[in-house]
Amino acid sequence: MSELKNDRFLRALLRQPVDVTPVWMMRQAGRYLPEYRATRSTAGDFMSLCKNAEFACEVTIQPLERYPLDAAILFSDILTIPDAMGLGLYFETGEGPKFKKITRTEEDVAALPIPDVSTDLDYVMNAVSTIRRELNGRVPLIGFSGSPWTLATYMVEGGSSKDFRHVKRMMFETPEVMHELLRKLAVTVTAYLNEQIRSGAQAVQIFDTWGGVLSTSCYNEFSLQYMKQIVDGLIRDHDGRKVPVILFTKNGGQWLESIANTGTDAVGLDWTTDIDVARSRVGSQVAIQGNMDPSVLYAGKDRIRAEVEDILSRFGNNPGHVFNLGHGIHQFVDPAHAGYFVEAVHELSAKYHQ
């Protein structure tokens, strides 16, 4: 594999010195880019895009052609694992992901196979190796997975949910069934991320999108403990380099210390907790990734720059900041505004790294 020309993202995750604060955006390859929409149209549908390594590579690299981002993230979906367990993932226009089979009973959970990630999810690994080759050392490649709890919410609800009534009913009424589902998912996620690392991913992120809908005790029991199991089982050195791990629980700012104590290298932060507060709580222990409200990108250049400067000044002259949005970039953002954001991070952060 070629040498990395820009490793500031990996260095920041390990709280090492960098020249400027590295930046990438969750969902940076996505619907806000006209070139992404064109490639998706050529592919036919979303899953065809995910399952074709050349298309997945193309859309992964598209934002890097526009912006001087410091990392690429594998183009895929968090629901590839439930799909590989035989649940039949499909997408309905305007309604998001759905499953042909729903997992709600002890029998449903018992029937779920633990996939062989190297064969059942080989299209993901083909995409990782193709992207890594095409990047040719330009920036690091991030692999990812959904957290067991987040995957379980989709599997039990059958798709997206506003009230999580089915998954919460299972959690409270038959906790042993929920734990068996989460156990199977944790084993699979660990294998899945390790196979991504072996295929070329240089850092990995676990997206716990729905951990924030839980109470503290339920979060610790049904989400965090399984993410800790995954962190404990991950390959942390590969190709002569450390492989950093990022845990991101949306709406999880109240649990930062617990997340940091899992052994992760970095904690992802949404925009509901100020980054200076977060750093005062966990900053010497882990790196922090975040945390601008994605909606700021609807504003003009001056407002975007002011928000970037505020976050940078709150983090200050400290190691271990990866700048990101607090969640994925919205599909209706003007691509030029994303450019102002990336440019502002690099330009305004230099003074904090002298």
- Is 29 one of the annotated binding-site residues? yes
- Return the number of other C-beta atoms located less than 10 Å from residue 66's C-beta: 15
154 is catalytic: yes
Give one DSSP letter per residue of 149-208, joined into a string.
HHHHHHHHHSB--SS-HHHHHHHHH-HHHHHHHHHHHHHHHHHHHHHHHHHT-SEEEEEE
Q: Which entry of 31, 183, 198, 236 is annotated as an active-site residue?
A: 31
SS3 call for 298: helix
Taken in order 106, 146, 32, 135, the sign of the CA dihedral is negative
Q: Which entry of 37, 66, 77, 274 is annotated as an active-site residue?
A: 77
- Is 169 one of the annotated binding-site residues? no
pLDDT score at 2? 66
Residues 217, 163: Cα–Cα separation, whole Å: 19
Q: Which entry of 32, 36, 67, 154 is annotated as an active-site residue?
A: 154
40 is catalytic: yes
SS3 call for 237: strand
- Is 27 one of the annotated binding-site residues? yes
pLDDT band at 194 (very low <50, low <70, confident <90, very high): very high
Q: What is the mean pLDDT of the chain?
A: 96
15 is catalytic: no
Q: Residue 280 pLDDT more than 90?
A: yes
List the beta bridge partners of residue 89.
Answer: 99
List the beta bridge partners of residue 92.
Answer: 96
Whether omega for the bond prior to residue 6 falls within 30 degrees of 0, making it cis, is no
| Residues in contact with 92: Cβ distance below 8 Å, sequence separation at least 6, in sequence order | 98
Q: Which entry of 27, 236, 241, 281 is annotated as an active-site residue?
A: 27
pLDDT band at 283 (very low <50, low <70, confident <90, very high): confident
pLDDT in tens, 218-263: 999 999 999 999 999 999 999 999 999 999 999 999 999 999 999 9
- Residue 239 region by backbone torsions, left for phi larger than 0, else alpha for psi between -120 and 50, else beta: left
Give one DSSP letter per residue of 48-98, joined into a string.
HHHH-HHHHHHHHHHHHHHS--S-EE----TTHHHIIIII-EEEETTTEEE
How confident is the model over 308-318, as a mean pLDDT? 97
Domains of the chain: 8-353 (3.20.20.210)
Q: How many percent of the chain have pLDDT more than 70? A: 99
- Is 104 one of the annotated binding-site residues? no
Residues 340, 338: Cα–Cα separation, whole Å: 5
Residues 161, 169: Cα–Cα separation, whole Å: 13
| Residues in contact with 172: Cβ distance below 8 Å, sequence separation at least 6, in sequence order | none
- As a whole number of Å, the CA-based R_g of the chain is 19
Residues 144, 204: Cα–Cα separation, whole Å: 5
pLDDT in tens, 41-75: 999 888 999 999 999 999 999 999 999 999 999 99
Query: Which has the closest alpha carbon to 49: 129, 136, 100, 123?
Result: 123
- Is 281 one of the annotated binding-site residues? no
27 is catalytic: yes
* Backbone phi and psi for residue 240, each to the nearest 5 degrees, phi listed first: 75, 15
Q: Which entry of 40, 138, 236, 241 is annotated as an active-site residue?
A: 40
pLDDT band at 1 (very low <50, low <70, confident <90, very high): low
Residues 339, 79: Cα–Cα separation, whole Å: 29
- Is 77 one of the annotated binding-site residues? yes
Does the pTM exceed 0.85?
A: yes
Beta strands 203-208 and 245-249 are parallel
CA 288 to chain centre: 14
- Residue 205 region by backbone torsions, left for phi larger than 0, else alpha for psi between -120 and 50, else beta: beta
- Is 268 one of the annotated binding-site residues? no
